[in-house]
Amino acid sequence: MSTPSAGLAGIIAGETAISSVGKEGMGLNYRGYSINALAEHATFEEVAYLLTRGKLPTQQEFTAYQKKLLSLRSLPDSLKTLLELMSASSNPMDILRTGCSFLGTVEPETHEHTQLDVCDRLIALFPAMLCYWYRFHKDGVRIETQLSNESLASYFLEMLHGNTPEALLRQVINVSLVLYAEHEFNASTFAARVTTSTGSDFYSAICSAIGTLRGPLHGGANEAAMELIERFKTPEEAEEGVLEMLAHKELVMGFGHRVYRTSDPRSDVIKNWAKLLADSVGDTNLFSIAERIDQVMQREKHLFPNLDFYSALAYHFCNVPTLMFTPLFVFSRTAGWAAHIIEQRELGKLIRPVAEYTGPSSRPYVPLEKRS
């Protein structure tokens, strides 16, 4: 039997043809395509097609796919009612998890409504779910979700803010969606695969993934990173504060990675976009605070920023509320989750690892009345 590993660190739990994370000198790639090339040249919709269909689309395929996604943006009336009933103080991740589960009851997966149909519907509808709930409770309006924006990035920003987003903001959100779309056997993806392996339905697997992503040690790290950055007023105060956190052995979110050892290949990409946004909005302090935290962590702990750290800053400059940072992760990672659900179904094997028992040795049963 293999040696136990806390958190399954370093354990190969299966095979996948969907992405490679830092193996064999390839860096991060989606189905063989470098993340850097995809982030620079591709739209999120191209990447979603690549992950769920196994190849980059031709122009004809891409046009048809865009048209399909655009047609799937209308919220069912029953789901609108549910979103209006959910509390304004709800965690947005709970909104998406509950909305996904409910959608599975009104649009269940069938032979006619296939796994790809469910996947496309969720990719198209998650931004609508979140923004409809948010704007109803924040502004008292029932927004129209059947908009004609071609990109998910533009679509989300227009529903969130109620106006046509600037080109730079659209670009940044698109890049972030590409970067977050897939990452091998991360916690939420593995949760989706475990659920899928039991023969359960597509919606249940996605709900498992969302529930897993909700945790601060996974998707919630970007929100914690923003809260950290905003805690300080100057770079000097940030350095002092982070050093104090380290002295007290507090966890500094947004740094290090369970798989990468020297750097996160996605971090520099989003950092550059965050800097462009900072310059665009005239920020003279927040980006410098983030960089100082980054410098302190690398100097003191030899820890590098992961994707979450500068993504938080980029989302902030796009005027996305902090509690929506992880839901944006959901919008993107749904494509990756779907690819893994499909792959796990093709494998057709139940995931059931074993555990090494560390409890008491064999003990005799003592009747209740004789226990002291």
Angle between helices 221-230 and 325-347 (to 10 degrees): 160
**What CA–CA distance (Å, rounded) separates 337 from 353?**
21
> Do residues 182 and 338 make contact, with C-beta atoms less than 8 angstroms apart?
no
* Strand-by-strand arrangement of the 33-34 sheet: 19-21, 28-30, 33-34
SS3 34: strand
Distance between alpha carbon 211 and the CA centroid of its chain, in Å?
A: 11
Of 351, 352, 309, 20, the residue nearest 185 (C-alpha):
20
Distance between alpha carbon 63 and the CA centroid of its chain, in Å?
A: 26
Which residues, other chains included, contact 305 with Cβ-Cβ below 8 Å and sequence gap of 6+? 254, 255, 264, 267, 271, 294, 297
Indicate which residues carry an active-site annotation: 218, 257, 308
Angle between helices 152-161 and 325-347 (to 10 degrees): 140
Tally the C-alpha atoms within 13 A of residue 268's C-alpha that lie toward its C-beta. Answer: 7
